[in-house]
Structures are given as structure tokens and as C-alpha cells.
Amino acid sequence: MNRNTKHLTAAENRLGENMAKCFKALSDESRVKIVLMLFSGATNACDFMDELNISQPTLSHHLKVLNEAAVVRRKKEGKWRIYELTELGQKVARFLKED
């Protein structure tokens, strides 16, 4: 092993962990579709279920994974939970939309 090898800083380790969560979250086709749908604007869970033809428990799982990966955040408006992309999520969506 090279003695000049630089060890990762704590910040670099956190970045690596966060990026791994992000890539894992995007490893599912339905989650990629959710990100692309959100890129056109914040929406609620009913819109996802109708478009993706998935059950509510499945959708909840996908949104939880995306939220834990800091790609999606949710906010409550009255009875509704509205989902939107985080800054990272917007960058990911722009990347996915590139030809």
C-alpha cells in the first residue's frame, strides 16, 4: 500500500454514504419515474398511484426510500401530503432528463 495514500475525511465519508443511498434509491424503475414526475412539479400520492399503477403501501415504501436518500421531501397541507424534490433531487432529475 502506498504510504502517501490520503485517508478520507469525515465529510468525504458522509458524502460517500449519502451518494450510496441516493444511487440505491434510484436503482428501482418506479422510484426513477417518481423523481421524473416530481420534476414537473410537486404532487400528492394519488397522482403517483394512478400514473404508476401501484398500491399505496408500495408507493409509501418508494417515497420513504427517496426521502431517506434526501432526494424527496414531503410537507403537509391540510389533509394532503405534498411531495417535492430536494435540491439533490432536482439535480438528479435534470441528469435523468438529459439526452
Domains and CATH numbers, the chain: 10-97 (1.10.10.10)
Residue 4's pLDDT is 55
φ, ψ of residue 70 to 5 degrees: the values are 60, 30
Stretches where the chain sits below pLDDT 50 are 1
- What sign results for the dihedral spanned by CA atoms 37, 34, 41, 21? negative
Asked whether the whole model's pTM tops 0.85, one would answer no
pLDDT by residue (tens digit) across 45-59? 888 888 889 999 999
Q: Hunting for cell 426521502 — which residue is that?
A: 67
Q: What is the pLDDT of residue 11?
A: 79
CA gyration radius, the chain: 16
How confident is the model at residue 1, as a pLDDT?
46
pLDDT of 5: 56
- CB-based burial label for 72 (10 Å; 0-12, 13-18, 19+): buried
